[in-house]
Structure 1
Amino acid sequence: MKFVQPIRDKRKIEAMKKVLKSESVRDYALFVLGINSGLRISDLLALSVDDVTTETGNIKERITLKENKTGKTKDFPIGTSAHKALKEYLDTSSLETTSPLFLSRKGTKAIRREQAYRILNNAARTVGIKDKIGTHTLRKTFAYHAYKSGYDLSMIQKLLNHSAPSVTLRYIGITQEEMDDVYLTLNL
């Protein structure tokens, strides 16, 4: 697996949303839910419609799932951006409640990881992102922006199920240059 980067520039995130939405509301919803949940791609692609909707067809307030990699239960609220993207997607689709949420156009299964990679990579190149981008970029983008927004590193570590803060810093791509900047700009 190649080492991929988070999308650090919020303008590039917005540009990717526009590109994805213009091509496919499904792909847009995948991207928005991914960068707002921190889920691994395997967990995103395993979601079904009934994982995110109530019996009456409304978007749930929370998603509860068992992580494929860890086997741990993850329960988190659906934020405003993800809620809007999911609603728009589901309002324009004719998916059954038991269907995969991100259904392939070719059948009855979810899109595959490789297709998700192509979708994200093409959108990234279209908006001029030159960093290595992959499906894991969604999770890293979530963590990077949580960190940059001032959320405690130990909280982000817990959300990602990492073993140590150093793992989380390396994971989200905090560079030595950024750490050095603390010394150079604090000047108390």
Structure 2
Amino acid sequence: MTTLVPIAVSPLRQRLIDEMDIRRFGRETQRNYIRDVGRFATFLGRSPDTATAEDVRRFQIEQGELDVPAPTMNAIVSALRFFFTQTLDRPDLARKLVRIRHERKLPVVLSRDEVARLLDATTCLKHQAALSVAYGAGLRAAEVAALKVRDIDSERMLLRVERGKGGRYRNAMLPTGLLALLREWWRVGRRERVLHVDGWLFPGQHYLKPLSTRQLHRIVVEASVAAGIGKRVGPHTLRHCFATHLLEDGIDVRIIQTLLGHAKLETTAYYTQVATRVLRNVTSPFERLATTAAEGRVPKG
């Protein structure tokens, strides 16, 4: 019988993990931070706690020469700033990191008809329910995957998001139709013995492990192909659709900000650029020129 030997974790890496655990960072964020600090360590060829300001400068120059995309580089900067500031207590190194300005691309947004077709094109009830939560409650992929059965509050019609981005807690909306779908999934899941009162709402291949974000991405892509949707979509597309469709329905952007769990209002306000129904309802001042001119020609007296 082969004995499995646990993989040793260096004290420095464990300290980084502990600092992230204290702040309740999500699994995806922790994985990304560990990967990005590891990328810096590979560049150095030695332990990253020995880095100097010159090392940080050379690293960023090399990343630029490798044409690392600006969003990727900014994600690395976030990881290293946390590492230098919280793990090493070296804020002087964190100050040497430079974020790259870049034009943010408009998100891909599906029409309501396309969303309905995508959800109908899923191959099983679990997949349909998971994607319906992403759209119906505006959750991120990692938030959908991390949901547990007990996070459904049917009395208050809420979904409890215990570990959102940045470890923040919030309540997400639970529409009546979505609750009915989740109850149907509960009955099927219980019959198939994959759902448990204290377990994951969307278990993976084994009921003790949740569905991964990678699996969610594959589910969305396969459903979009089956639905004949030619746009490039992923789980986050459904969150974009949630925000945009609410904005088009006249919901105040500050309310949408709360539902999405955005820290900054300008992040939510970005959806005004893709809310086509909002744009169609705006009357251009050009349209009022003819009315103004006509009123000016009305005889007086």
TM range (shorter): 0.7 to 0.9
Q: Does 1:42 align with 2:148?
A: no
Aligned pairs (5 A) from 1:133-144: 133-144=233-244
1:31 aligns with 2:127: no
Indicate the residue corresponding to 1:163 in structure 2: 264
1:78 is aligned to: 174
2:145 is paired with a residue whose SS is helix
Deviations 1:136-165 (A, max 9, x none): 112111101100111112222333214133
Please list, as runs of the form range in 1=range in 2, the aligned pairs for 1:59-78 lying within 5 A after superposition: 59-60=154-155, 61-78=157-174
On the 8 A contact 1:6/1:173 being kept in 2, the answer is no
Letter in 2 for 1:128: G
Specify whether residues 159 and 68 from structure 1 end up closer, same or farther in structure 2 by C-alpha distance, changes over 3 A only: closer
Structure 1 outlier segments of 4+, above 6 Å: 176-180
Unaligned runs of 5+ in 2: 1-70, 73-104, 289-301
RMSD, aligned α-carbons: 2.8
Q: Distance in 1 between matches of 2:147 and 2:167?
A: 15
Q: Does the C-alpha gap of structure 1 residues 178 and 151 become closer, same or farther in structure 2, counting only changes over 3 Å?
A: closer
**1:145 corresponds to which residue?**
245
3-state SS, counterpart of residue 63 of structure 1: strand
Look up the SS of the partner of 1:64 in the other structure.
Answer: strand
Q: Encode CA deviations 1:33-57: one digit per residue, 9 max, x unaligned.
A: 111111211111111112226xxxx
User: Is 1:11 equivalent to 2:113 in the alignment?
Assistant: yes
Aligned to 1:97: 197
Question: Unaligned regions of 5+ residues in structure 1, if any?
Answer: 54-58
The partner residue of 1:174 within 250, 273, 282 is 273
Structure with larger Rg: 2
8 Å Cα contact 1:32-1:81 kept in structure 2: no
Separation in 1, partners of 2:202, 2:228: 26
CA distance in 1, matches of 2:125, 2:276: 38
TM (norm. structure 1) is 0.80
**If each structure's helix is expressed as a fraction of its own residues, which one has the higher value?**
2
Aligned to 1:56: none
Q: Give the residue type in structure 2 aligned to 1:10.
A: R
1:76-111 deviation per Cα after TM superposition (whole angstroms, max 9, x unaligned): 442112101101111111211122111113452111
TM-score, normalised with respect to structure 2: 0.52
Question: What is the SS of the residue equivalent to 1:98?
Answer: coil
